[in-house]
Structure formats: structure tokens, C-alpha cells
Homo-oligomer: A and B are copies of this chain.
């Protein structure tokens, strides 16, 4: 089970085709076919259905392992590379939309500590941030999510990064000001299982997280998907009645929008800092500034 076989296996699954994966990897189709055949004969299972190309049960399981393994291999190389080169004064911060606000103060502290710092901030979807920090694409990550108080987020459990709590804030349900529940002093998420929700996983709390928090398998039906986007768009969509959203209290200001604190279950909006195993001097200064006054 060689790592480069796993690499092409993952590429084939992602591309949905042997030939497309071959183009992507710079091989011929035949080579890819042989590599998959070799993996399958090694493991004595068929990993892929052909026509259309789609992982079998065993293939899906292998994929669950292959992606973290490849991520970790990239992370290892990246860490060794960083160790060799001189410590550059560079700080690429990647932050999820609702976590980005925390970057400002810490970035200022890092620039104070290193005046010639070459710094940059990018707002990104939560999903890839852990992996990017692990593989050196980012020097620092800021992610957010909902969790029970003091519980860790574990956004990318397989990425070899250190996570530290930055802040925890109460949550609120955003709803149109005219909504019958808008005047309530507080809400229980479990009473909103049957409402219609905005599906904006990059900005608001993702619906699966709400289901988990409420302890239900179904419910929190999406009314409108909103990929990417920013807080203002989500606020406008909620105000326009497209669906509800769970946001940190005080995050969304918009005419026609009301906010009701979440009373139960006991969950909070949590922000975490993701650091590589060997953060450079600037990363250390950044993270020290953020975790000094944490929670």
C-alpha cells in the first residue's frame, strides 16, 4: 500500500474517472489503471466500481484513511522544509468569516513585535483551514464553530496542528423582525427543529452542527443554500424571510433583523487558533497575543 498508489486512488475518486486523474497527475490512463489494479490486488478487494467510477464500500473506507495519510505526508514535508530554511518574517493568516475579527488585534501585536513583518489575512471557508495550516499554505488559522462551553471544536481532527481557544460568545438565532418569535427573550434550539433554515455553512452555524447540538437526526431543513457569501448577505437573506440562522450574539446588524439569544441547549460560539507544529517567530507573537486574554 504505497503512498503514491493512495495518491492516485484519491485522485481517481475525486476526478470520477481514470483518464481525468491520469491527466491531472501526469500519467497515462494505462498507468493509473495498473496502479489501481495493484492496490486492489494488494488489498484483495475491489476498491472502485467502473462505469461510472465510484468507490465501493471498501474504497470509501480506504478513502477515509488515505486523505489524512496524504495530508500528514504533506505536513511532514512542509515542516521539515520550514525547519531548514531561514525563519522568514512572513505571516499568512487564514480565517473563517466569523473568526476573522480576532485577527486584527493579534496582527497588530505581531507587527509591533516584528516591524518588518510581511503579513496578509484571507477570509476562507472553515473547511480547508486546518489542512492549509498543516501543509504550510497558511501560517495561522482562525476557525469558529458551535460547541458546548469549554469543549474543543476539532475542525480538522486529522490535521497535525495545535488548537487553542480564543473566545467563546453566546449564540443567537437571527430571524426577521416580523417573525412571531422575534419578541421572545430566549429560544430553545430544539423548538426550532421544524423551522426553515438558511443553509449557509461558511458563515452561520452549519445545520448538521445544529442537529448535533439539539440531539436530533433530522430537522433543521434547509430552505436556501448560500455558499460562501458574507455576514451582510446572510443577514439580508434572513431579514427577507428565506430562513433562520444561528450566529454569535451581536454579529448581525441589519434593518428588519431580530436576534434572540439561544437559551438551550448550552452551546456557545467558539473561536480557535490553529498553529502549525513549529510556528515561526511571527506566528508565535500572533498566537501569544490572542491566547493571552482568551476566555
Q: Which residues of A contact B (CB under 8 A)?
A: 1-4, 43-45, 57-58, 61-62, 64-66, 68-69, 72-73, 75-77, 79-81, 83-84, 148, 150-151, 160, 277-278
CB distance from A55 to the nearest CB of B (A): 12
Residues of chain B contacted by A151 (CB below 8 angstroms): 150-151
In angstroms, Cα B45 to Cα A68, docked, is: 24
Residues of chain B contacted by A69 (CB below 8 angstroms): 69, 72-73, 76
In angstroms, Cα B62 to Cα A116, docked, is: 31
B80 touching A43 by the CB < 8 A rule? yes
Closest to A157 in B: B157
Residues of chain B contacted by A45 (CB below 8 angstroms): 80, 83-84
Q: Which 4 A-B pairs have the closest CB atoms?
A: A65-B76, A3-B3, A43-B80, A69-B72
B61 touching A80 by the CB < 8 A rule? yes
In angstroms, Cα B64 to Cα A83, docked, is: 14
B72 touching A84 by the CB < 8 A rule? no
A/B interface sample: 20 pairs, CB < 8 A: A1-B3, A2-B3, A2-B4, A43-B77, A45-B80, A45-B83, A61-B76, A61-B79, A61-B80, A61-B277, A62-B76, A64-B160, A65-B75, A65-B76, A68-B160, A69-B69, A69-B72, A69-B76, A72-B72, A151-B151
